[in-house]
Amino acid sequence: MEICNAMKGLGGRSGICALVLGLAASVSSAAPTSAPVATLPYTVKVFAQVPQGLSQPDSMELWNDNVFVGFQNRVAKDGTDGKSSTIVEFGLDGKVKRTFTVPGHNDGLRMVGDDDLWALQNEDANPNLVVIQLRTGTQKQYKFPPAPHKGGYDDLVVKNGKVFVTASNPDVSGTGGINSFPALVRLSLGGNNTVVVESVLHGNDNATNIATGETKPLNLSDPDSLTIDPRGNIVLDSQADSELVFIRHPFTSQQEVGLLNITSSVTGPMSATITLDDTAFANNPKAFLLVADVGNATDNGVIYRIDSPSFGFEPGVAYSASDTLGLLGTLNLDTGFVTPIVTGFDSARGLLFIAPDGDNDGDDK
């Protein structure tokens, strides 16, 4: 508890997480089954099947009572195959309303302002941004300047009206394996359909380990998904490193960084350790949780709905999806330990909490 108190505001907490973790039984294997299996008090069912001709649902975002899902359609992650992803608008009944086509491999969706959906493509290289004005359906594409890390850009969040983006797939071949490049950047729109990129966090900045209190340099090899926790910290998932990085007061002189190493009792054929793709924080006890299962080489994927009808989702509890182990679990924010509550996904990716009464707290905090 002393460490948690010292790290107040950077992710440490135990009471709420312990309650939910106590409800979930341990699972010894996450081998895929014919359908995901939930541990009581949770239930799982299909929210929406993949529309014909599409595949690989991943990122999700909410606008009013509409769910937007990015389908990657097996497009190359650097966009070099010239193919396109599809952004699909679903109603809360899981039925398709509209579709939008964006060039490249979509891996980031976020509402910016009231009506603009930002779609970010090509996390490995050659990134582009498409802004979709949802009330009119119009689209505008923006170009990035040359990336110092020679990779792409992956996910984005909005905090205090500012857009933050992960700088993914860094090329560290010329830096002795150390990611000294920007790992988190601020993104804004410039003239001539371009974007402006400003560094927020470098891949080798110092961070304090939330579990141990030790401070040392990071070395983020795989900046990936982003979210914002209930305390307003930006939470960056360095996927291949099995790490979550908490950034307090980003892009200010008071910026602080915390590190949480991710572990689990679960092992599987794809990985000896757990990696996370997305993390979401319960925002309403009556909410339900959507999970995008991207599928495998022969499966186009499914979007599932998770409910907790007996107890509800306690606000503030963290839930994480593991792509390699095909599970959804509760995340202990003091220790980084993930306890599975649903197993049997092919590859669990995007997460989205939705409150049925419309009381949804977004990422714009």
Rounded Cα distance, 81 and 78, in Å: 8
pLDDT of 34-46, one tens digit each?
699 999 999 999 9
**Residue 273 binned pLDDT confidence (cut-offs 50, 70, 90):** confident
Average pLDDT over residues 139-143: 98
Q: Tell me how far the alpha carbon of residue 246 is from its chain's centroid.
A: 13
Rounded Cα distance, 302 and 325, in Å: 16
Domain-embedded: residue 270: yes
Helix, strand, or coil here: 262?
coil
- Omega into 41 within 30° of 0, i.e. cis? yes
Average pLDDT over residues 130-136: 98
- Domain ranges, residue 21: 2-354
Domain-embedded: residue 79: yes
Domain-embedded: residue 288: yes
Residue with tokens 């979210």: 227
Domain-embedded: residue 361: no
pLDDT of 78-107, one tens digit each?
999 999 999 999 999 999 999 999 999 999
Domain-embedded: residue 144: yes
Please give the pLDDT value at position 28.
Answer: 31
pLDDT tops 50 at residue 1: no
Please give the pLDDT value at position 16.
Answer: 37
Domain-embedded: residue 209: yes
**What's the CATH number where 145 sits?**
2.120.10.30
Average pLDDT over residues 171-190: 97
pTM for this predicted structure: 0.89
Q: How many domains does the chain have?
A: 1
Domain-embedded: residue 365: no
